[in-house]
Amino acid sequence: MTIHRSALVFSGTFEWCQRSAKKLLDDSGFSSILWVSNNPPDDVYTLTNEHAKKVLGQEFDAVVVDAWSGLNPDTLGAVAGTVHGGGVLILLVPKLSEWPQFDDPEYKRLINIPYQVTDIQGRFLQRFAHVITSASDITLLEQQAVRPFNSVLSGILHKKQNKLIVRTDDQQKAINAVIKVATGRRRRPVVLNADRGRGKSAALGMVAAELLLQGVQRIIVTAPRREAVAALFEHAALLFSESTTKLVFIPPDELCTSAPQADLLLVDEAAAIPIPMLENFLKKYARTVFSTTVNGYEGTGRGFFLRFYKILDQRTPGWKTVHLKQPVRFAENDPVERFIFQALMLDASYSPIEKVEKASTNNCIFESIDRNELMSNENLLSQLFGLLVFAHYRTRPNDLRHLLDGPNLSVYVLRHKGFIVATVLVSKEGGLDATLSKAVYEGRRRVQGHLIPQSLVAHAGIIDASELKCARVMRIAVHPALHGRGLGTQLLAEVTKSARNRDFDYIGASFGATCELVRFWKNSGYHPVHLGLTREHVSGSHAVIVLKPLTNKGISLYQKSCQKFFTNFPHLLSDPFRELETDVASMLMLNQTSQQHICGNEKITDDEWCDIRAFAFSRRGYEVTLFPLWKLSICTLADPAQCALLNNSQRCLLVSKILQKQSWSYVVSLLGLQGRTQAIEMLRQTIAALCK
């Protein structure tokens, strides 16, 4: 039997809150209690905000979150889900009227040079306090008006939750669907989606055990973190206790590069994994299950639905979806779930489609949003945050706090008839002094924030980059019903104009490099100046930095950055970027600026042209012509006119074989050719097209 949980808030001095909560719990008879605090009472199981995610997959009678140690929205979202039915979530907070002015220890995550804690205005805490006072099903105990403990206990103590493993009807439907994926026709994936607490990870564990008992040899599990699938392995172990080599966890980035054999791939918390990675899994594994949380502290599944479902339709049109609605840990309409959803805006939604469907570049208004208005206008905040949640897989509750309180942040939107249709968040960076810039260059210092300036200094070796003022586009989002109408480009143009008027030297962005994203930014006049040497663990892509200069100093920095990047990039393709996607490599090189830097340094001589033509039109060998072919390839890929002479396969061939120096067998497999002879002949035809 599942029953409701309770939410309880103690508001007063730290000593009173802690003492009162401890007495209440001592009298409650609860046996499993988690206390999230930097200053806990004695004899309690304690974790700090930094380590609270270790409890994922566990369950507690009571969880205490000490806001005096800092209110971390991600932590609150994570630990609230561990309270089982009949249990209680307890918050210890300062006096509500004074809380917005409280020097929250979590503020250190929001500030970077030159800002101080005093620059934070406490909007998030003010809104959070309002949510507490306006929630009808939260028990609020204030120091100045204490209710008797006995009455509080009678209100929160319930019959113990039944912890027997009983499958809900929804879980059984999910299990049946997964079995069909594993035993039925190939390439018929299923997507399980649910809010937290619906038992989807447990269902995956149960069905994994069933399949292994039926003779399935190997099941791979992947998720953003090992802790996220603790419940899966726990439920599998209850039914299947043999060798763990048959059920293994592999991180997403490792799975993309190694692609080990498996009879079934289970992808949990799929919405927190970049879609290019998920598409990679679809290509490599014929039997795949994707499971995702619709609303949760890890991010959201709503944007995942609209974007990834299109890919499923294209690649595996026979795919199915199963929605788990019935809670497992607690009863439906749970007060704690309602409170957490409202406080952390886990159910935020972007503007209704019918209100914005006629939006275009001709009828939208550009605005800078006052964040005091965001705090006081819940509908506006929901439109904005809901759009950010949809657009970016990494948007979490902590981002809501940064949105409201980040002192270096500016918020811009496009509105159609008052409704938000697109938004950009811009971070103020740079402006560091020469001494600090030198320390960053020498590797002796790293400062919080300032992502683009520090990268240009530390990695590109441009020491004065961090002294200039940089506007970094942190997030950009366009309403999902309005993609392709030019609204994102229009918004970037307006933001660029605003940054120029605010005396920024340059504007830029950093993002996981995909062909689509690089093309979008290039079309808006932003060009690549740096590519991270390793793939990001979360995105699975190399992070690219793009810039657009705004002042004479910015132009000088931009030119120097471009020259360094485009001079080095072709050489790096055969070493750290040897596995870089060929379309991404081609898109990064395609630039008039890169043509100037590369081809100016690698001018092809008359003798080399003779060698190139002999390779293309005669039988001259590849190996003895490699260097002039290398020079021709980088000049071609940098020149839009020359690149247009080739199709995608030909550009892929130049990148993979000549620049990345892949083996002939690799190239044959990549392009779907019949063998080395056909690959060489294709290369001759490609070079011939460039000689005319």
| Mean pLDDT value across the chain | 89
- Please compute the mean of the pLDDT values over residues 414-432 and round it to a whole number: 97
Consecutive H or E run containing 450: none
Cβ(54)–Cβ(78) under 8 Å?
no
H/E stretch holding 423 reads strand 419-430
CA 634 to chain centre: 33
Nearest one of 659, 470, 529 to 581, comparing CA atoms: 659
Q: Is 169 exposed, middle or buried (CB count within 10 Å of its CB: 0-12, 13-18, 19+)?
A: exposed
Tell me the Ramachandran region of residue 289: left when phi exceeds 0, alpha when psi lies from -120 to 50, beta otherwise.
Answer: beta
In the prediction, which pLDDT does 429 show?
Answer: 97
What is the length of the chain? 692
pLDDT of 282: 92
C-beta of residue 617 within 8 angstroms of C-beta of residue 692: no
Q: How far apart are CA 155 and CA 172, in angstroms?
A: 34
The number of beta carbons lying within 10 Å of the beta carbon of residue 20 is 19
Sign, CA dihedral 189-194-200-201, equals positive
Residue 156: the pLDDT is 66
Q: Which residues share a beta bridge with 141?
A: 10
Report d(CA 364, CA 491) in Å as an integer. Answer: 10
Which pLDDT does position 180 carry in this prediction? 95
Confidence of residue 592 (pLDDT cuts 50, 70, 90): low
At residue 147 the predicted structure's pLDDT band, cuts being 50, 70 and 90, is low
Spatial separation of the C-alpha atoms in residues 476 and 421, rounded to whole Å: 11
Average pLDDT over residues 192-220: 90
Supply the pLDDT for residue 15. 95
List all residues 6 or more positions away from 41 whose beta carbon is below 8 Å from its beta carbon.
Answer: 18, 22, 35
- Which pair of structure tokens corresponds to residue 324? 């788990």
Burial class (CB in 10 A: 0-12, 13-18, 19+), 425: buried
Residue type for 612, please? I
pLDDT at 664: 96
As beta bridge partners, residue 249 has: 221
Is residue 160 very low, low, confident or very high in pLDDT (cuts 50, 70, 90)? very low
Q: Is the confidence at residue 164, as pLDDT, over 50? A: no
Surface-to-core class of residue 606, CB atoms within 10 Å of its CB (0-12 exposed, 13-18 middle, 19+ buried): exposed
Q: How far apart are CA 176 and CA 170, in angstroms?
A: 10
Q: How far apart are CA 408 and CA 431, in angstroms?
A: 12
**What's the angle, vertex CA 582, arms to CA 577 and CA 586, rounded to 5?**
95
Range ranked top by mean pLDDT from 362-371, 432-441, 537-546: 362-371
Residue 296 has pLDDT above 60, yes or no: no
Measured between alpha carbons, how far is 404 from 443 in angstroms, rounded to an integer?
A: 33
Tell me the pLDDT tens digit for each residue of 20-46.
Answer: 999 889 888 888 999 999 888 887 878
Residue owning tokens 């989606």? 193
The torsion angles phi and psi of 307, rounded to 5 degrees, stand at -85, -50
* Predicted pLDDT of residue 591: 73
Res 306: pLDDT:
66
Q: What pLDDT is stored for residue 653 in this prediction? A: 97
How much is the pLDDT for 29? 83
Q: Cα separation of 197 and 331, whole Å?
A: 10
Q: Which residue from 94, 119, 124, 70 is spatially nearest to 372, judged by alpha carbons?
A: 124
Model confidence at 161, pLDDT cuts 50, 70, 90, reads very low
Task: Give the pLDDT band (50/70/90) at residue 137.
Answer: confident
> Which of 205-209, 243-247, 580-584 is predicted least confidently?
243-247
Q: What is the CA radius of gyration of the chain?
A: 28
pLDDT of residue 154: 65
**For residue 2, what pLDDT band results from cuts at 50, 70 and 90?**
low
- Which band of pLDDT confidence, cut at 50, 70 and 90, is reported for residue 159? very low
pLDDT in tens, 59-81: 899 999 999 999 999 999 989 98
State residue 274's pLDDT score. 80
Residues 76, 398: Cα–Cα separation, whole Å? 10
Tokens 């490699």, residue? 626
CA–CA distances in Å: residue 37 to residues 66, 99, 259, 488: 5, 17, 41, 42
pLDDT at 548 over 80: yes
Please tell me the distance from the alpha carbon of residue 18 to that of residue 41, in angstroms, as a whole number.
7
Contact 62, 33 (CB under 8 A): yes
Could you give the domains of the chain?
6-156 (3.40.50.11040), 169-324 (3.40.50.300), 353-569 (3.40.630.30), 595-691 (1.20.120.890)
The encoded tokens of residue 38 equal 């930097």
Is-contact 193 306, C-beta < 8 A? Answer: no
Q: Which residues pair with 66 in a beta bridge?
A: 92
> What beta strand segments (E) does 188-314 contain?
190-194, 219-222, 247-249, 264-267, 288-293, 295-296, 299-300
Average pLDDT over residues 237-248: 79
Tell me the Ramachandran region of residue 417: left when phi exceeds 0, alpha when psi lies from -120 to 50, beta otherwise.
Answer: left
pLDDT > 70 fraction of the chain, expressed in percent and rounded: 92
487: number of CA atoms within 13 Å, CB side?
Answer: 29
The pLDDT of 117-145, averaged and rounded, is 93
Q: Which helix (DSSP H) or strand (DSSP E) does residue 562 occupy?
A: helix 552-572
Is residue 689 within 8 Å of 632, Cβ to Cβ? no
- Between the alpha carbon of residue 303 and those of residues 383, 522, 537, the distances in Å are 14, 24, 21
For residue 632, give Cα distances in angstroms to 202, 627, 655.
56, 9, 12
Q: Starting from the edge strand earliest in sequence, which strands make up the sheet with 83-93, in order?
A: 45-47, 33-36, 60-66, 83-93, 6-11, 138-142
Out of 51-65, 84-98, 287-301, 372-386, which region has the weakest mean confidence (pLDDT)? 287-301
Report d(CA 390, CA 247) in Å as an integer.
Answer: 32
Q: Would the pLDDT of 652 be above 70?
A: yes
Cα–Cα separations (whole angstroms), residue 617 to 228, 509, 575, 632, 659: 58, 44, 31, 16, 22
Kindly report which listed range (146-150, 389-393, 492-496, 651-655) carries the lowest average pLDDT score.
146-150
DSSP strand pairing (295-296 vs 299-300) = antiparallel
pLDDT of residue 166 exceeding 80, the answer is: no
pLDDT given for residue 148 in this prediction? 65
Give the pLDDT mean for 617-646: 93
Task: Return d(Cα 421, Cα 355) in angstroms, integer.
Answer: 10
With H, G, I as helix, E, B as strand and everything else as coil, classify residue 338.
helix
Q: Contact at 8 Å (CB) between 670 and 652?
A: yes
Neighbour tally for 647: CB within 10 Å: 11
pLDDT tier at 393, thresholds 50, 70, 90: low
Give residue-wise pLDDT tens across range 434-486: 999 999 989 899 899 999 999 999 988 899 899 999 999 999 999 989 999 99
What are the tokens at 355? 């209100």
pLDDT of residue 28: 85
1 pLDDT higher than 60 = no
